[in-house]
Structure 1
Amino acid sequence: MNLTSRQRAYLKGLAMNIDPIFQIGKSSLTPELTQAVSEALEAREIIKISILKNCADEGNTLAQMLAERTHSTVVQVIGRKIVLYKPAKEERKRKIVLPN
């Protein structure tokens, strides 16, 4: 999903007010973590993830890999924080309405 700059800015604004719900550590991206992120995206649509200092992988690389595996969109990567977005499959469950 390609976001316009306006949509990305809107999502960044929403992400400012949420806390990270996952941490990526030494074991990096495990199948369990990927599954949990996917489930959280379905429930929340936008999530923030922290990368711990003991994780050797680069933030942008992790973000791209997670986005591919969960079929989501990388909103932003700032330092050791990743923000991912994925609209809910069912339209009636969608909480976030993107501007056009």
Structure 2
Amino acid sequence: MALSAKQRKQLKALAHHRKPVVQVGNAGVTAPVVREITLALEAHELLKIRLPGVERDARHALLQQVCEATGAEAVQEIGRIAVIYRRAKKPRLKLPE
């Protein structure tokens, strides 16, 4: 599911005041990290995650691994904080078309 620019803009606004829920450590995207992110996505749909303090390209690669492993969409990446979204079975967030 690709997000439109309008949807991405709304999700960024909704995520602005949220705090990071999961922190990815230096070990990278491990099974326990994927499990925690999956549980958090089921509960919240939209969440912030904190990535390790490595180079920008490495952080971007980690974010892509997280998205592939969880079926989520990357909404935004600013520094060490990333916002991801995955529609829940019973969606709580209403997105524009």
Fold match by TM threshold 0.5: yes
Q: Which runs of 5+ in 2 are unaligned?
A: none
Q: Which amino acid aligns with 1:72?
A: A
1:78 corresponds to: 78
- Summarize the alignment of residues 12-91 of structure 1 with structure 2, pairs less than 5 Å apart: 12-53=12-53, 58-89=58-89
Q: Which amino acid aligns with 1:35?
A: R
Count of aligned positions: 96
Q: Which runs of 5+ in 1 are unaligned?
A: none
CA drift of 1:52 comes to 3.1
2:91 corresponds to: 94
% identical aligned pairs: 38
CA RMSD for the aligned pairs?
A: 1.4
Contact 1:11 1:75 in 2 (8 A): yes
CA drift of 1:95 comes to 1.0
